[in-house]
Structures are given as structure tokens and as C-alpha cells.
Structure 1
Amino acid sequence: MKILPLNSIAKKSGFVLLLVLMTAIGWIAASFTAETQEVDISYQRYFNDNYKIFSLNTPAGITFAGEKVPLEIEDVRESLDRELLVNTYWQSQGLLFHKRANRWFPVIEPILAEQGVPDDFKYLAVIESGLDNVVSPAGATGYWQLMRETGREYGLEINNEVDERYNVEKSTVAACKYLKAAYARYGNWTMAAASYNVGMYGLAKQVDRQKADNYYDLLLNSETGRYLYRTIAVKEILSRPAQYGFHFRPKDLYQPYETYDVKVDTAVSDFTEFAFQNGINYKILKILNPWLRDTYITNPDRKTYAIKLPKPSETGMVPYELRPEQKALIDTLSSDSIK
């Protein structure tokens, strides 16, 4: 019998051990992979059974501002379908639209009625700004996204101290003036709405070029081409939220601010002091009066401004509880903050 050297035996033993180890690892890996695949298959099956995305019915007989939307035209129907899908399945945006509408529609609706503008135009403010005081890259500002020149043309004060584009009541009046002027020019509210996006001159240019004076017959740029359909889709979804999968409890919706007005016809040197003197802080003053663009107003013309302050309420914005040091500061203040 041949006796192998010890180092040869050790090498063979090591090889056998390595082979056994690799086999064991391979078996474990195969078992784990099989188990993982089974879990993945089960998960995918559950997903397929429970996750559903539905197409939407196109509403019949829909109108905007009392004017019929011609859904019998294929591209009109498909354009509205696109905006219904986008705005239904962009759920976070839809939720915010519903919540904010509960706060701001009660402010906007009576102004539209008073100005003789159809109620449907409140949805224009929704698609313009999301009912938020935003500023576009082009400089359009506020709930109605008015440009500086347009705002001034329709009666708004816009300067470094006061910008009434941020005032929802006054900017709504200005938007109404524009829309009535556009209606007088084009003879229907649909074209007036389109001109709000592209401008009266821009729309008139396309009317002359294409020899068509109906929004649904015009080929417009992508943004304006979608503009009215977005407005109509938002009207449909906000008017019938449950049909589009949006469900709310009353407490989920943003409540209207309960306020009263303080008339100021002088300069105010420091709005922080002004806020303290009226039992609130500067933040609350600015939330309620975003049109105040600086910490003071010089008011050289002695105009009368209505500054909103919160009423005590369990559901609305309550007056701010001043800290002791703030109360002490008020005691030291004279009337110098209001001159």
C-alpha cells in the first residue's frame, strides 16, 4: 500500500471540505432564491388582484359658464379626457384643491356674482394658482396670476410696500374686469377664459391667422390649448368629488378665516409692533394680509387700507397669545408705530 505524504492528504482533505462547503452554500442559496421567488410571486399576485386603475367616463352635457362643450368633436372629447385623468390621478394636488376651495370659494363666489361674471370662473383661479399666493417664473402673481402691468391697468396698487395682487378680494375684482373686457371683445365666456391665459392680443392674432373665432376650432399653443379643458376638468372633479375618488370629512377641509377689518389711513412704521398692539404676532398678520409687502407703509397719500385681524374662534385662526416679554414691550410702545 502506497502511503501518501501528509501534505498531499491535507490538500485532498481541503479540496473535499471546500467542495462540501460550496455545495452547502449553493443549496442554501437555491433554497433562499426559491423562497424569495415564491414571496415575489405571491406579492405580485396580491398586487394584481387588489390594485386597480380605472379609465373615466366622459361626462355628458357638460358646460362652461353656461356655454356647451362640444364633446361630439373627437379631439375635444379626448382633450377633456386627458385633463380628467391627470387631475383625478394626481391625488395630492386634487386633495389640496378641495381643501383650499372650502376656504376661498366663499370669498370668490360673491365677488364673481356682484361683478356679473359666471360662477364657473372660480375654477380658473384654481388652475392658475392652486388657490395659493404663488409667483410664476414670468412674474404673474397671486391667486389670479396677474402680471404687474395688467394688475395696475385694472385698478390694483402695486409697489414695494403694497401689492394687491396678493389680496384675494381685490385681485378677484381685477380679474373680473379683465374677463368682462374680454367678453365684450369676443362675445363669449369660453374665448374670454382662453384670453386670460394667452392675452387678448395673442388670441386675436390666432383668430385672424386661422379665420376661426371659436376656441374649440382654434389650434393654440400647448398651454392655452389645454387651459380651458383643465378648467372644465377641475370644475367636474370639485363639483362631484366622490365620483372621482375624493372623500373628505368636514374637519379635513381648510376652514375660512374668521376676520374683521381695522381701517388704517396713516403710515405704519412697524407692522410687528402693530401686530402686538392688536393681540397677534407678525406671522398671523402676514397670513391674513399677504398684500403688505414690507414691514411698514409710508402711505403718503393717506389712503385707507383695510387690515384683517382674526376673530376669536374655536375653528378658525385664534388671536395670538402674547408672551410676557411681548406684553411688556407693548406697554413701552407709544402710538409711534402708527402715525
Structure 2
Amino acid sequence: MSANRFALYISILSLFTVVIIAFKGFQKDEPTVINKKAIVPPIGFVNAKTIPLPESIDFAGEAVPLNIPDVKERLDKELHINSYWHNNTIFLLKRAHRWFPVIEPILKENGIPEDFKYLALIESGFENVRSYAGAEGFWQIMKGTAKEYGLEVSKDVDERYHPQKATQAACDYLNWAHNKLGSWTLVAASYNRGVRGISNALENQKAEDYYSLMLNEETYRYVFRILAIKQIFSNPNSYGFDIQTEHLYKPYNYAFDTVRNSVDLVDYALAHNMDYKTLKIYNPWLRDEKLRVGRNEFYVFSLPESKK
């Protein structure tokens, strides 16, 4: 064998040896085996199980007809989606602890069933969001509707982001819709599709209630999403949510200041021993760094209790 052929032979043998060693290395990375049978699941693995449905449930005192197969299945779907959509539902529980105490008294004062607090929750998650259609704030109110119900929407101010005033406007709409439709369940559906849309569907399909209607996908699911969140909130532990009380977001403690003159909001915040960011967190309805106040007008700012 020549020296060149011997060198080639050694190179090929060395390469083959490296491949064998690498292959054995990969074999060591396979899942750990217990008793040669049970494979240890990866971190984050969820042992998903089916969730039993409640024997009965209602929205605003109106019973849900779970004896109707498709109604039962639609609730089943939304209950499973929201039970296993862990990160979303956890933060709904956290934020609700802050904002339910603000919303509930206003609903009660206006004769609106308490279950409508879950409508606001599924609309926005209690975040100041804007939809692709232009609806804004906790109650996802359109600009035209906001003005119709007495909310100011301008360059400086957008009261759709005012938790108390927007809730009052929503209550005014809900009571009006109930006078038209006569059912709180239909009112909830109308918040998604509009009173005219629900009324037309009832007339065209010769139906009398929400659960008998064939609707567009979003409205078809809408009330069931509310029902699912209501059911989970009734007993979070039963649906796999172990939420420690200290992890919930605490309600804000407010002080109030009446502002009767135009102000630079950055300077105003600093004068009250806080930064502009904190002022905006407590007053998300302020939309600019300046606020122009007209003659005979005034605004009430919410401040951290210690900053008045």
C-alpha cells in the first residue's frame, strides 16, 4: 500500500469514528425513561382533561336552555377555550379585582344586572384598547355612540377611556336596548350586533330568543363567552386557576382635583409630586400633554390618594 493510499484510508476511518461517536451522543439526548415504559413529559406539558358543564346556568336571571344540544355544545366550547387559555384568563381575574368594584355600583344604580360586568370584561379585558373598527375603552364604544350618550371625544379628551363615565354611557345604552328587546340576553347580543341587527334576525327567523337564532359567528359565540367567564369566575379553583389573593391587582385609591383652567399636564403632574405617566394611568381619558379648558368648563382629575 502506498503512503498516499494509507493516509486516505486513515482519514476515512477517522471520519467514520467521529460519526459513530456523534450518533451515540444524540442517543443520550432522548427522553428520560422510567421503568423502561413511562416517558417523562417535557416542562410545560398540560394534562388536558374534559370539563364538566354546570347543571344549570343563567345570564341576568334568564335561564340558559342546556337541554338544547347545540346550546350545550356552544357553552362547552367556550368553557374549555377559556379554561385552557391560561395566560388570558389569569389576567382577566387579576384585572377584574381592580375594576369590578368601580363598575358594579354604577350598574346597580342604573338597574343593570350585575352579569353585564362580564360583558365589559370580554370586550376589553379591562385594558384601554382600540378595535379595528374604532371602538375604544373598557366598553368598546364607537365615537358616534359616545357623543350620542354624552361622552366628550376631542383632541384633548376622550371619555370612552373614563371608567366611570363610559360605564354610565354603557348603562344608558343597555337600558334603552332592554326597552326595545325585552330580554337581557338579547341586549347582551345586541352589544355585539346592534339592536336593529338582533331585531331583524328575530323577525326574519320568526324566533323569540337568542338561543333560537342563527347568527354570524361572532354574535353566535358572544353570549357564551360571557357565560363561560361568569362560570369560571364563580369558582376559579374548579377550573384549574390557583390565584393567590396577593397576586390580584388592587383597586386604586383615589383623590380628586377639579381643574377649571387650561393646564400643561406634565407640569401639573410634577406640581402634584408625581410623573406624567402616573397622571395618565389614573386619567387615561386625557389624550394629550395639554388640556384646554373652556370658559365655564371644568374637569375632575383622579389622583393617587397620597398625591392630592
TM-score, structure 1 length as denominator?
0.84
Distance 1:276 1:19 in 2: 76
What residue identity is the alignment partner of 1:286? K
Of 285, 304, 308, the residue aligned with 1:310 is 304
2:118 alignment partner in structure 1: 123
> Unaligned regions of 5+ residues in structure 1, if any?
1-7, 313-318, 321-339
Q: How does 1:32-51 map to 2 (within 5 A)?
A: 32-37=25-30, 39=32, 45-47=39-41, 51=46
Q: Which has the higher helix share?
A: 1
- Structure 2 equivalent of residue 170 of structure 1: 165
Unaligned 5+ runs, structure 2? none
| Distance in 1 separating the partners of 2:48 and 2:281 | 39
Match of 2:291 in 1: 297
Q: Is 1:254 equivalent to 2:249 in the alignment?
A: yes
Shift of 1:73: 0.9
For residue 47 of structure 1, give the secondary structure of its aligned residue in structure 2.
coil
Contact preservation (8 Å) 2:97, 2:251: yes
Deviation at 1:26, TM superposition (A): 4.7
Relative to structure 1, the CA distance from residue 236 to residue 23 in structure 2 (aligned partners, 3 Å threshold; closer, same or farther) is same
Residue 40 of structure 1 deviates from its aligned partner by 8.2
Residue in structure 2 matching 1:191, options 186, 194, 197: 186
Identity, % of aligned positions: 43
CA distance in 2 between partners of 1:30 and 1:299 (Å): 75
Amino acid at match of 1:31: K
Structure 2 CA distance for partners of 1:82 and 1:271, relative to 1, 3 Å: same
- Secondary structure of 1:14's match? helix
Distance of aligned partners of 1:58 and 1:262 in 2 relative to their CA distance in 1, 3 Å threshold: same
SS at match of 2:290: coil
Q: Would you identify which runs of 4 or more consecutive aligned residues in structure 1 move more than 6 Å?
A: 40-44
The 1:27–1:87 alpha-carbon spacing in structure 2 relative to 1, beyond 3 Å, is same
Distance in 1 (CA, whole Å) between partners of 2:230 and 2:103 is: 15
- Residue matched to 1:337: none
Q: Deviation at 1:37?
A: 4.1
The residue number in structure 2 matching 1:13 is 6
Q: Which moved more, 1:29-38 or 1:123-132?
A: 29-38
Asked if the contact 2:31/2:40 (under 8 Å) is kept, the reply is: no
How far 1:15 sits from its partner (Å)? 5.0
What residue number does 2:72 align with?
Answer: 77
Deviations 1:277-336 (A, max 9, x none): 222221111111111122233332523321111113xxxxxx49xxxxxxxxxxxxxxxx
Aligned residues: 306
- Counting only pairs closer than 5 Å after superposition, residues 31-110 of structure 1 correspond to structure 2 as 31-37=24-30, 39=32, 45-47=39-41, 51-110=46-105
The verdict on how the C-alpha distance between 1:240 and 1:301 changes in structure 2, with shifts beyond 3 A counting, is: farther
Change (3 A) 1:102 1:18: same
1:79, distance to aligned residue in structure 2 (A): 0.8
Contact 1:267 1:302 in 2 (8 A): no
Instruction: Give 3-state SS (helix, strand or coil) of 1:32's partner.
Output: helix
CA distance in structure 1 between the partners assigned to 2:161 and 2:27 by the alignment: 61
Kept in 2: contact 1:260–1:310 (CA 8 A):
yes
The residue identity in structure 1 corresponding to 2:229 is: V
- Residue 302 of structure 2 aligns to a residue in which SS? strand
Look up the match of 2:197.
202
Q: CA deviation at 1:138?
A: 0.7
1:24 corresponds to: 17
| 1:230 counterpart = 2:213 | no
Q: For residue 51 of structure 1, report the CA deviation from its aligned partner.
A: 4.4
Partner deviation per Cα, 1:207-235 (whole Å, 9 max, x = no partner): 22211131001111111111000011111
Greater radius of gyration (CA): 1
Q: For the structure 1 residues 43 and 136, does the alpha-carbon distance in structure 2 shift closer, same or farther, using more than 3 Å as the test?
A: farther
**2:99 corresponds to which letter in structure 1?**
W
Deviation for aligned residue 1:29? 3.9
Alpha-carbon contact 1:87-1:234 (below 8 Å) kept:
yes
Do 1:125 and 1:143's aligned partners in 2 also have CA atoms closer than 8 Å? yes
With over 3 angstroms needed to count, the CA separation of the structure-2 counterparts of 1:279 and 1:76, relative to structure 1, is same
SS of aligned partner of 1:251: helix
Residue 70 to residue 48, structure 1, CA distance change in 2 (3 Å): farther
Letter in 2 for 1:143: F
CA separation in 2, counterparts of 1:289 and 1:123?
A: 23
RMSD of Structure 2 on Structure 1 (CA): 2.3
